[in-house]
Amino acid sequence: MVLLRGIGKRVGLRLLAALPALFGVVVLTFLLMRVLPGDPAVFFASGPNAGQEEIEMIRRELGLDQPIPVQLLRYLGDVGHGNLGRSLTTGQPVLADLRNRLPASLELTFTALLLALSFAIPLGILAALAQNSPLDHGVRLLCTLGVCVPTFVSGLLLIYAFYFLLGWAPDPTGRIDIFASQPPTVTGFLLVDSLIAGDLEAFGAAAGQLVLPACTMALFVLAPLARMTRASMLAVLSSDFIRTGEALGLSRKRVVLIYALRNALLPVITIMGIVFSTMLGANVLVEKVFSWPGVASYALDALLASDYAPVQGFVLLMALIFVAVNLTVDVLYGLADPRVSIG
């Protein structure tokens, strides 16, 4: 009970501290969209040859004829009431578009992160245990390649190899095969919804579509996770308590997996939170390559069309997710190391 109260107090304090940052994000995004080149009224008129009267009418409908401070105050009032505006591209409220597309991005990001962690942590541990060995050099080479190769290049290479040449992967166009029936929407996560509906065929089709984009993103984030695990393990393995445990006759496996790994996980948890937030906002290239209907590709399409509201809503959503990830990292810190105060 005391632990839960401590966690609740810390979460509340962090949320209060995050409010000024969120306000700054909203204001800065609003101002940046206004100074970027391009006029949405001209874009959404009947074309570059549209009459000035039609353009002015659209500007009045969008409120763009008002001074910037007036527009900002109106926008802040709308955000305070949960209204993020309407997308001129889709014709739908931005909040509804983000709600429909966010599960696709989260499903891709979570799968890629779990895939990256399942390889990065063992590789980092093995590289630390065999420092300066061929295995260590191989892991560092793999990390360097993962950082150097852009995601759209690795994605296209995977499509060429596994879809075009080998024919193992399905057509990389969307979240589920066009010939498979989509399960009823419950959570928005196709893998979860198909299991809830008991539709194993839909689960297999959704999982097949998810493999290549998840592998593409996992290759991109494998490097920082593996390198941080290796560096943290090397620092812990040289500590006094590790040498003491080995001197007392504890098995090498117990020392590494129970004592060393637990202490080495703290920096990994930190970098994991940063990597997750980065993946969610920077996976636009992966979503474009694989025609994945996520929030990043939605924001990019809106930005190219000078559609202000979706871009502003996307940036605010990313800021909220970043705050939530930081809170989760704080809680995990306390669980991984009791010395870290949760209260």
pLDDT at 116 over 50: yes
135-189: per-residue pLDDT in tens? 888 888 887 777 777 777 888 888 888 888 888 888 888 888 777 788 888 888 8
Q: 94-336: what CATH class?
A: mainly alpha
- Nearest Cα to 88, choosing from 52, 25, 38, 51? 38
Radius of gyration of the chain (CA): 24
Mean pLDDT of 268-294: 82
Coil vs helix vs strand at 336: helix
CA distance 58 to 87: 14
Dihedral (Cα; 172, 175, 178, 179), 10-degree rounding = 110
Coil vs helix vs strand at 131: coil
Q: How confident is the model at residue 7 (pLDDT cuts 50, 70, 90)?
A: low
Token readout for 158 is: 């995977």
User: pLDDT higher for 8 or 183?
Assistant: 183
- Nearest Cα to 311, choosing from 23, 34, 17? 34
- Mean pLDDT, the chain, rounded, equals 80
189-198: per-residue pLDDT in tens? 888 888 888 8
**Cα-flanking dihedrals φ and ψ of residue 263, to 5°?**
-75, -30
Q: Which helix (H) or strand (E) holds 107?
A: helix 94-129
Lowest mean pLDDT, pick from 130-134, 225-229, 251-255, 310-314: 251-255
Return the sign of the alpha-carbon dihedral for residues 263, 268, 269, 270. Answer: positive
Dihedral (Cα; 304, 309, 311, 317), 10-degree rounding = -160
Q: How confident is the model at residue 45 (pLDDT cuts 50, 70, 90)?
A: low
CA distance 227 to 128: 10
Which residue's structure tokens are 């940046």?
32
The pLDDT, as a whole number, for residue 308 is 82
